[in-house]
Amino acid sequence: SSQPSSPAGETEGTAPKPTEASEKYAFTNGTITGISEAYLENLAQSGSSRVELAIPAQIGGTPVRAIGDNAFRLDRYTSAYPALTFVNLDLSGAKITSIGANAFSGCHTLSGVLTLPEGISAIGAGAFAGTAFSTVYLPSSLSECGASAFDAGPVLVFPNQTLFERF
Question: Strand locations in the chain, DSSP E?
Answer: 25-28, 31-35, 50-54, 58-59, 62-63, 66-67, 85-90, 98-99, 111-115, 122-123, 132-137, 144-145, 155-157
Q: What is the distance between the alpha carbons of residues 123 and 103, in angstroms, rounded to a whole number?
A: 9
CB 165 within 8 A of CB 145: no
- The pTM of this model reads 0.84
pLDDT value for 152: 66
- What is the C-alpha R_g of the chain? 17
For 137, other C-beta atoms within 10 Å of its C-beta total 15
Q: What is the distance between the alpha carbons of residues 142 and 97, in angstroms, rounded to a whole number?
A: 9
pLDDT value for 164: 80
Closest CA to 40 of 85, 87, 91: 85
Q: Where does residue 41 fall: left (phi above 0), alpha (psi -120 to 50 degrees), or beta otherwise?
A: alpha
Stated length of the chain = 167
pLDDT value for 41: 92
- Per-residue model confidence as pLDDT tens for the chain (167 residues): 444 444 444 334 444 444 478 899 999 999 999 999 999 999 989 988 999 999 999 999 999 999 999 999 999 999 999 999 999 999 999 999 999 999 999 999 999 999 999 999 999 999 999 999 999 999 999 999 999 999 867 888 888 888 788 77
pLDDT value for 2: 42
| Rounded (10°) CA dihedral 38, 74, 163, 58 | 0
> ∠68-33-52 over CA atoms, to 5°?
105
Q: What is the distance between the alpha carbons of residues 145 and 99, in angstroms, rounded to a whole number?
A: 10
